[in-house]
């Protein structure tokens, strides 16, 4: 399935014609399509969110997600093409997320990508969702090129990654249990803020005192995993605190609990990221994923990087949460390397970064 050509640079002037990628993303609860030119320019970025639907159930219901993707996907793709003012004839490749994610949700995008590829003869490229998140940074930072360190923090993933080159990744640390976004969502539910928790905790924390409750900054033992994360203990500490306050008849100040929890997560993410940058001698750092839009995390990372004279990159919020533009960027770099998928491409719910 993989065919490497001797092509590394992405520079536009080297290419005789523009490369247009149609990207499809359906790994969780957003049905998305985008058209990306030459890997860095977003011509359209359509996102149909199912958040309102899943809010009723307090989280993503996989069966509902798959069904909604099927309903929306054609419309979202048509809109992406029409907003970019391009037709299938002009598209050089179709990039589709094939993992990791919810299997039923992924299958909708993969089947759609394969069907279009089969019907039109346009080459197909399977893209790793986390790779997409990292590549979101290339959209607004034209000067950013590997190597750099990236922290990917989303609802399903928490990874510290060495971006060695385009498409070449080394995992430096990962969560041993809950993902950072998952912890935000669970804590938000426990303090009555509802789903999706991350943005709600972010907002309410602005009114709270981050020093009010001293939640633990969980560390993972062992020299080989010191850049790993663990958030389930922190989540339990919040639940225990809520219980003990309730038992003691004390009123819970939601904004203080939210801000203190957010500070604990932010501290751990910042400390590990800075340790990784120092240990591996990198001067460039990029954050990615839904939690990367958290205002406290962005501020803490910005300050830590400034102190250490490290270039800090982060995408706009629309490119942090799930979108297809980031898949188009990742797909472009695979395309110019000569990577192609065939019609045996399948959804791989637990696909590892760097694997095909
Ligand atoms: O990247 P994403 O859209 O989907 C996955 O690939 O998982 O990330 C969604 C996660 C959710 O857990 C959501 O609560 C979290 O990102 N999130 C935030 C914020 N915005 C979204 N977490 C903290 N602060 C935010 N502002
Ligand atoms: Zn994601």
| Tens-digit pLDDT profile for residues 210-264 | 999 999 998 786 556 789 999 999 999 999 999 999 999 999 999 999 999 999 9
CA-proximal residue: ligand 1, atom 22 (nearest): 198
Task: Flag whether pLDDT at 14 surpasses 90.
Answer: no
CA of 321 to the centre of ligand 1 (A): 6
CA of 122 to the centre of ligand 2 (A): 26
What three-state secondary structure class fits 231?
Answer: coil
Calpha distance 128→356 (Å, rounded): 8
CA-proximal residue: ligand 1, atom 10 (nearest): 155
CA-proximal residue: ligand 1, atom 16 (nearest): 290
Give the model's pLDDT for residue 39.
98
CA-proximal residue: ligand 1, atom 23 (nearest): 198
- The tens digit of pLDDT for each residue in 41-62 reads 999 999 998 888 878 787 788 9
**Strand partners of residue 37:** 20, 41
Give the model's pLDDT for residue 224.
67
Report the nearest atom of ligand 1 relative to the CA of 181. 12
CA-proximal residue: ligand 1, atom 8 (nearest): 290
Tokens of 167: 């498409």
In DSSP notation, 83-128 reads HHT--GGG--EEEEEEESS-HHHHHHHHHHHHHHHHHH---EEEEE
Give the model's pLDDT for residue 222.
58
Q: What is the average per-residue pLDDT within 75-91?
A: 98
Give the model's pLDDT for residue 211.
98
Ligand 1 neighbours by CB, cut-off 6 Å: 28, 154-156, 181, 184-185, 196-199, 202, 289-291, 293-294, 321-322
**Strand partners of residue 173:** 160
CA-proximal residue: ligand 1, atom 21 (nearest): 290
232-247 vs 180-190: helix axis angle to the nearest 10? 10
Give the model's pLDDT for residue 6.
40
Give the model's pLDDT for residue 15.
62
Higher pLDDT, 14 or 133: 133
Give the ligand at the shortest distance from the Cα of 288. 1
Tokens of 183: 């912890």
Tokens of 192: 């009555």
CA of 293 to the centre of ligand 1 (A): 8
Task: Flag whether pLDDT at 279 surpasses 90.
Answer: yes
> How many other CB atoms sit within 10 Å of the CB of residue 186?
18
- The tens digit of pLDDT for each residue in 168-187 reads 999 999 999 999 999 999 99
Report the nearest atom of ligand 1 relative to the CA of 289. 1
Give the model's pLDDT for residue 196.
84
Give the model's pLDDT for residue 218.
83
- The tens digit of pLDDT for each residue in 110-154 reads 999 999 999 999 999 999 999 999 999 999 999 999 999 999 999
From 28, 153, 184, 195, mutation site for ligand 1 pocket: most ligand atoms within 8 A of C-beta: 184
Which DSSP category does 351 fall into? P
Give the model's pLDDT for residue 74.
97
CB contact at 8 A, 260 and 270: no
CA of 25 to the centre of ligand 2 (A): 9
Q: What is the mean pLDDT of the chain?
A: 93
């Amino acid at each position: 399935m993989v065919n490497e050509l001797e092509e590394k640079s992405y520079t536009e002037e080297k290419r005789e014609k523009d490369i247009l990628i149609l990207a499809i993303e359906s790994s969780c609860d957003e049905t998305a399509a985008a058209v990306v030119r030459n890997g860095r320019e977003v011509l359209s970025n359509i996102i149909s969110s199912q958040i309102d639907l899943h809010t009723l159930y307090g989280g993503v219901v996989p069966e509902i997600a798959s069904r909604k993707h099927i309903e929306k996907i054609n419309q979202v793709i048509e809109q992406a093409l029409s907003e970019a003012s391009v037709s299938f004839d002009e598209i050089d490749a179709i990039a589709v997320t094939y993992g990791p994610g919810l299997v039923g949700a992924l299958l909708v995008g993969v089947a759609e990508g394969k069907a279009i590829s089969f019907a039109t003869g346009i080459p197909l490229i399977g893209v790793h969702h986390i790779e997409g998140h990292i590549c979101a940074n290339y959209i607004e930072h034209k000067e950013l090129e590997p190597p750099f360190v990236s922290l990917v923090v989303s609802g399903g993933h928490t990874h510290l990654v060495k971006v060695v080159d385009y498409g070449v990744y080394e995992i430096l640390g990962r969560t041993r249990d809950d993902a950072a976004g998952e912890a935000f969502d669970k804590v938000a539910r426990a303090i009555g803020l509802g789903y999706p928790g991350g943005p709600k905790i972010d907002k309410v924390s602005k009114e709270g005192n981050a020093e009010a409750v001293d939640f633990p900054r969980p560390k993972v033992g062992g020299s080989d995993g010191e850049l790993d994360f663990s958030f389930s203990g922190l989540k339990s500490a919040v639940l225990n605190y809520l219980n003990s306050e309730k038992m003691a008849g004390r009123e819970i100040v939601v904004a203080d609990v939210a801000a203190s929890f957010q500070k604990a997560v932010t501290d751990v993410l910042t400390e590990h990221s800075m340790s990784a940058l120092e240990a591996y001698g990198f001067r460039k750092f990029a954050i990615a994923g839904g939690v990367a839009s958290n205002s406290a995390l962005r501020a803490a990372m910005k300050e830590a990087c400034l102190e250490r004279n490290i270039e800090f990159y982060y995408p706009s919020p629309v490119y942090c949460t799930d979108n297809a533009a980031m898949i188009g960027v990742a797909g472009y770099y695979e395309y110019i390397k000569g990577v192609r998928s065939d019609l045996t491409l399948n959804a791989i719910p637990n696909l590892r970064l760097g694997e095909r």
